[in-house]
Structure 1
């Protein structure tokens, strides 16, 4: 799954923070929300395979709000090839 490979990269040298995920051009708004919600669940105490998440839930909430704001403005409704918020 695309989200799994991005999540694996987050632990490597190309680490992404929640706001970078919110503005990533290769993912749709739905994929971004799914990944950010998964990160938030892990950050708030859901069982994690391999350690704690390095992000605060508030930081993740801000990124989710940013994605939703973009969708309200019509960004993120196009295909990935045209770019996304």
Structure 2
């Protein structure tokens, strides 16, 4: 699953959150939106099956809105270089 490698890139077994994805400097805004939209689809399907993803769809919507706002403000359109952090 795509989030297995994301978990590794975000520092291990810590909980992945929608805002964590939105604020991750390793991804471009497009990559963040792709991940968040896939996460929303997975969360919707999980909810229909009675499973809990650990966060609500509203959290994903807020993260998507934050990424879009960042793009409008000119922030988050590029990833950082490995030497920058």
TM-score (normalizing by structure 2)? 0.72
- Give the Cα separation in 1 of the matches to 2:9 and 2:80: 20
**Structure 1 stretches of 4+ moved >6 Å:** none
Of the two, which has the highest radius of gyration? Answer: 2
Once residues 4 and 14 of structure 2 are traced to their aligned partners in structure 1, the CA distance between those partners, rounded to angstroms, is 15
Report 1:1-85 matches (<5 A): 5-6=5-6, 13-45=13-45, 52-81=52-81
Q: Please report the RMSD computed on the Cα atoms of aligned residues, expressed in angstroms.
A: 2.9
Unaligned runs of 5+ in 1: none
Structure 2: give runs of 5+ residues left out of the alignment: none
Q: Which has the higher helix share?
A: 2
Tell me how far 1:70 sits from its aligned partner. 0.2
